[in-house]
Amino acid sequence: MHITQLKIAGFKSFVDAVEVHFEEGLTGIVGPNGCGKSNILESLRWAMGATSARAMRGGEMDDLIFSGSSNRPARERCEVTLTLDNSARTAPAALNDEDVLEVKRMLRRGAGSTYKVNGRTVRAKDVQLLFADASTGANSPALVRQGQISELIASKPQNRRRILEEAAGIGGLNQRRHEAELKLRAALVNLEQLDQLIGEVDRQTAALKRQAGKARRYREMSAAADALEITIMAWRWRQAVDEREGAEQALKDAVRAVEDGLSLEAAAMSEETNCRAAIAPLRDAETEAAGKLGALKLELAQLDSQRRANSDEIRRLEADQVRIVEDLSRETNLREEASQTINRLRQSLADAPPMDEAAQTAQRRRLTEALTSARQALIQAEERADDCASRLAAADAEAQAARSILNREESRLASLVQQLAALRDDREKLGDQNALESALSKTRSDLLEAEEEYTEATQRAETFEAEAKQARLEEDKTIAPLQEAEKLVRTLEAELSGLDRLLKDTRGEDETPILTETRPGKGYERALAAALGDDLNAPRSITAPQYWSTHANHSDAEPLPDGIKSLADLVDAPAELVPRLKQCGLVTAKEGAALQSGLAHGQRLVSRAGDLWRWDGFIRTAKAPSAAAERLEQQARRDACKDELNSARKDVDKLYKRRESAREKAEKAQEAARSATKTVPDAASRASHAREMVLRAEQELERLFLRTASIDNNIARASEERDTVEKERDAARAAIGAEPSQTDRDVLEAARNTLREVRRSEREADNALSDFERDLERAVGRRRALERDLKDWERREQNADTRIAALADQRAQIRSQLELAMAAPEDLTERSEALARTIQFSETARRDAANALAQAETALRESEQRARRIRENAASARENQARMDARLEAAQRREEDVASQARNRFECELAILEKRAKAASNSVEGADEPFDLKLIEDRLATLRRDIDALGPVNLEADDQLTEMTSRIETQSRERDDLFAAISKLQEGVEALNKEGAARLLAAFEEVAGHFKSLFETLFQGGEAQLKLTESDDPLEAGLEIYACPPGKRMGALSLMSGGEQALTATALIFAVFLSRPSPLCVLDEVDAPLDDANVDRYCRMLDEMRRRTDTRFIVITHNAVTMSRMDRLFGVTMQERGVSRLVSVDLQAAEQLVAAE
């Protein structure tokens, strides 16, 4: 079987459909990094049934679909098609009916994959078996992806065995063996469960035999208990009926008492209203008199306030006069003091020395020039002294440094010699680096396996937790609506129960009011009640004292006035009411009075609000109470309540089912999450342990690397430092002896003495200039201060004159105001005496009005007390009516409860129950004795205790015993069938193991021979061999590679260099081809780690494989040498960002064309 063609559409970066033809020989695929070359290999593996998106560099399967670019939208599907040449008919039997097989895998975003072979949908398992039997497949070693050579080198021997399995062609055999083992384990589990089930059924059979005898005793005692219970229930029902009838009579008496109280209450309220109306004018008169009196008193208070304010004003003005006199005296003194100070300051300015600026400037210039000359001489002296001191200090320092360097370098040289010897000893004592690298490789493989197990367990737990959380949220969403719906049901049930009690008629069935059969349209209840009134309470039965009849003759009835609609069209009523309703018209409140005069005898007009206009002139407004209207509205509301209640109950049932469904779903998901979570800690522990082992191995190896590098660096650095120290030691010896002479020291001392004399002269010149500047500044400051003080005192003198003039004006104004204030008190006294007389007359008028109001309020209080007593009596009557109503309701409820219990328990009415009770009492012990409830209840309690003493009773024990016997026989037959199936599966697994082991050993011998030959060819010498390790069973053993390149010792693969490892692993893959050639081999950048010499060996090996096998090679490469050895080249480009394209060149045809030219 050969793969001849690959079609890709929408897969990863290949958004447009491309075709790759796999012809004989070597086909190369080239292109820059990131253009999509490896996507061709991944599309091959995906079409062959790969199930891991991560293995194809994706997070999930939908990531394999083209996700869009800046110029292209994302695709919703992708497909890859492989064309197979099946002319040899080596495919599985189910697919082996055609010479060409077209295997297609399609993926829709969010919908999963589908497989088709020649247009027929197949399972993924069928496709995987198809390629496995052809020695290829999604995980075949012949499909070598980037880095796979390195993985093969670093993998465990157990993992390398898969190469032998491919060579032996037992990939499909292993899969079938695995399926058989799964079936065998399942069968063993089923057998164990069946044995446990049979034992449980045997125990249940023994228990059922005991339960059958107990069931017979239970039936006998239950029959006797039922007879006593019927007797008790009939007696209680009869008692409840008698109590209810007594309560009804008491309620009628209470209603009459309430009606009497209402008439007395109305009379008392009328008297109270009259008394209250008489009070209003008297209260207004009293309020008016009080207002006038208050205004007069307020005016008197204002006059008193004015008199007090006048007194305060006089005192304030007298105090201001005293203050102004004091201020005038103070300001006069200040003006005199200012005049004296101004004369003194002017004299001081006249006595001050004059300011000669020219002389001052000349003196300052002379002192400044002297200071400048002294400073220049100081600078020259300092430079001479510093130069001498620097030369002398440098010479001393050089000599001293040379002696220090000589001592230090000799000590360092001795230390470095000892350090080098110690470092060389440490370098020889380091451990074996190769052993640590092998241990690290093994621990890393263990870590990868443990982390994969932990990731899978965590993902399962998170998935189930998310499902459980979502289900709980759905359940929580149903709680509030369910509670609201249940609350609505309870509200409607309570309202309906209340309406039923209000509308319940205590008369017999023959006296049921015709009102109960009448259904007015919505909103017309009051109109119907106004038209018929109490006539609606009459029944249809002719045996009643009053009733409705259909025998009356209405042929001569006058029609209603034009334009008036009759109630017969708006009310669904019995036939007896129709003639009456036709004579009742519906109008508005405004139309009724105008149309009343045109009514014929017996006709009436009504409004929707309840107004009535009768033919005989009688009018009743909607404000008049109407029991019939209220009863009709209650009846309409009851019908509406029933519909709302039915709808609400349906809503409750739906919401309850939704909640139960969500709860069940949440419990299942939570149980699955708990089961998955239990596996997470173990997986995490294994991963943590493996990670710790890897870390330890890496740290150990890193410590070895670092220690080795550190020692080597220290040795090199110590050697270099030793050479440097020897050179510095020789230079220090040459520098000793360059100390300064005594002549040099005498010259330095003379320069220092000269410097001291010059510095003293500079200080004297600087002090002279500073004294001159300070004296001049003090004289200028003194003159400026005198001028400033003179200006301040002159301004103070002017201000004092201004304040003295202002105080004189204020004293004149206050004297005038004081004269006016002294004249005001006499006028205020006269006005106060006149107001006091007017207030006395107003108080008398107010007192008379208050006495009249008090008498009226006393009469009102007495009438209110009488009305209150009457209302209290009426309220007591209503309370008594409510109690009687509650008593009746309780009696009815007790009767209903007892009746409901009896009907639910015995499914019959009272009369029948009493008959059954009489019959039951004749059949039990003590039937001739008088009825004694206590005695009967004691007997019933005794029977129930005896029944309870029996414990749980299985009344279906006989039927269950028969069924259990049949189950035992069926399970025995199933157990025999399982034994036979297990034996057959064990034989099948054993046969598959034998066949697989034999084929694997044969393949091992063949692959080992080819591997040895190919290795010697690749390396032009040397030796290599394969060994089965770790187990005596070939199917469980590992594959270890040992090689010895020319000039080296035999060792494991991990001890070889990188290039040698790559060539050795390549030789192993090619050895598999020679033993069982795969129809297709893809090598993705296998030559990347090889140098030019090894690339040439690699290409020669490809040519050899092409000649010796029928395998078609696809080589993905960047190496120019490898490209030159290909028969044809496909180029993958990405001219458009994010979109891969394919171009091809046939190199053989190109060579022939060039040769022809």
Residue 169 pLDDT greater than 50, yes or no: yes
Angle CA 960–965–971, to nearest 5: 120
pLDDT of 1027 reads 84
Residue 80 pLDDT greater than 90, yes or no: yes
Q: Which residues pair with 620 in a beta bridge?
A: 612
Residue 590 pLDDT greater than 50, yes or no: yes
Could you report the per-residue pLDDT of 191-242, keeping only the tens digit for each?
A: 777 777 777 777 777 776 777 777 777 777 777 777 777 777 777 777 888 8
- The full DSSP string for 469-512 is HHHHHHHHHHHHHHHHHHHHHHHHHHHHHHHHHHH---S-GGG-
Give the lowest-confidence range in 137-151, 268-282, 383-397: 383-397
Residue 510 pLDDT greater than 60, yes or no: no
- Neighbouring C-alpha atoms within 13 Å toward the C-beta of 397: 6
Residue 957 pLDDT greater than 90, yes or no: no
What percentage of the chain carries pLDDT values higher than 90? 3
In one-letter notation, the amino acid at residue 380 is Q
Confidence band (pLDDT; 50, 70, 90) for 1004?
confident
What percentage of the chain carries pLDDT values higher than 70? 83
Whether the model pTM is above 0.85:
no
Q: Which 3 state secondary structure label does DSSP give 15?
A: coil
Residue 925 pLDDT greater than 80, yes or no: no
Q: Using alpha carbons, list the distances in angstroms from residue 899 to 111, 244, 884, 1030, 1135.
A: 62, 13, 22, 86, 92
pLDDT of 1109 reads 79
Q: What span, in angstroms and rounded, lies between the C-alpha atoms of 511 and 545?
A: 9
Could you report the per-residue pLDDT of 352-405, keeping only the tens digit for each?
A: 666 667 777 777 778 788 778 877 877 777 777 777 776 766 666 666 666 676
Kindly state the helix (H) or strand (E) to which residue 83 belongs, with its residue range: strand 77-85
Could you report the per-residue pLDDT of 521-535, keeping only the tens digit for each?
A: 777 778 877 777 777
pLDDT of 1157 reads 42
CB 1076 within 8 A of CB 169: yes
Instruction: Return all residues near 990 (Cβ < 8 A) that are at least 6 apart.
Output: none
Give the lowest-confidence range in 80-89, 504-513, 1097-1106: 504-513
pLDDT of 83 reads 93
| For residues 798-806, average pLDDT | 78
Could you report the per-residue pLDDT of 277-314, keeping only the tens digit for each?
A: 777 777 777 777 777 777 777 777 777 777 777 777 77
Could you report the per-residue pLDDT of 706-718, keeping only the tens digit for each?
A: 667 667 777 777 7
pLDDT of 114 reads 92
Angle CA 742–744–746, to nearest 5: 70
Q: What span, in angstroms and rounded, lies between the C-alpha atoms of 458 and 682?
A: 11
Of 637, 632, 627, 629, nearest in space to 516 by CA? 632
- In terms of pLDDT, which residue wins out, 155 or 1113? 1113
Confidence band (pLDDT; 50, 70, 90) for 8?
very high
What count of other Cβ atoms lies within 10 Å of the Cβ of residue 654?
A: 14
pLDDT of 78 reads 93
Task: Write the DSSP symbol of residue 14.
Answer: B
Give the lowest-confidence range in 338-347, 727-736, 840-849: 727-736
pLDDT of 116 reads 93
Residue 824 pLDDT greater than 70, yes or no: no
The sign of the CA dihedral 944, 950, 954, 959 is negative
Of 376, 374, 394, 377, nearest in space to 748 by CA? 394
Confidence band (pLDDT; 50, 70, 90) for 6?
very high
- The full DSSP string for 746-793 is HHHHHHHHHHHHHHHHHHHHHHHHHHHHHHHHHHHHHHHHHHHHHHHH
- The full DSSP string for 249-308 is HHHHHHHHHHHHHHHHHHHHHHHHHHHHHHHHHHHHHHHHHHHHHHHHHHHHHHHHHHHH
CB 1143 within 8 A of CB 16: no
Residue 1144 pLDDT greater than 80, yes or no: no
Q: What span, in angstroms and rounded, lies between the C-alpha atoms of 143 and 1113?
A: 10
Q: Which 3 state secondary structure label does DSSP give 848?
A: helix
Could you report the per-residue pLDDT of 731-783, keeping only the tens digit for each?
A: 666 666 555 566 666 776 777 677 777 777 777 777 777 777 776 676 676 67
Residue 425 pLDDT greater than 80, yes or no: no
| For residues 263-277, average pLDDT | 74
> Which fold, 1-140+1087-1092+1118-1157?
Rossmann fold (3.40.50)
Q: Which residues pair with 82 in a beta bridge?
A: 6, 103
- In terms of pLDDT, which residue wins out, 824 or 994? 994
Could you report the per-residue pLDDT of 881-890, keeping only the tens digit for each?
A: 777 887 788 8
| Helix (H) and strand (E) counts in the chain | 20, 22
Residue 924 pLDDT greater than 60, yes or no: no
Q: Is 65 exposed, middle or buried (0-12, 13-18, 19+ CB in 10 A)?
A: buried
**Mean pLDDT of the residues in the chain:** 77
Q: What span, in angstroms and rounded, lies between the C-alpha atoms of 294 and 302?
A: 12
Q: What span, in angstroms and rounded, lies between the C-alpha atoms of 750 and 384?
A: 10
Q: Which 3 state secondary structure label does DSSP give 929?
A: coil
Residue 1154 pLDDT greater than 50, yes or no: no
Domain ranges of the chain: 1-140+1087-1092+1118-1157, 493-646
- In terms of pLDDT, which residue wins out, 472 or 923? 472
Q: What span, in angstroms and rounded, lies between the C-alpha atoms of 799 and 335?
A: 9
| For residues 68-79, average pLDDT | 87
Confidence band (pLDDT; 50, 70, 90) for 506?
very low
- Top-ranked range on mean pLDDT: pick from 27-31, 402-406, 701-705: 27-31
CB 112 within 8 A of CB 61: yes
- The full DSSP string for 336-390 is HHHHHHHHHHHHHHHHSPP--HHHHHHHHHHHHHHHHHHHHHHHHHHHHHHHHHH
Which tokens go with 310?
């006048």
Residue 982 pLDDT greater than 70, yes or no: yes
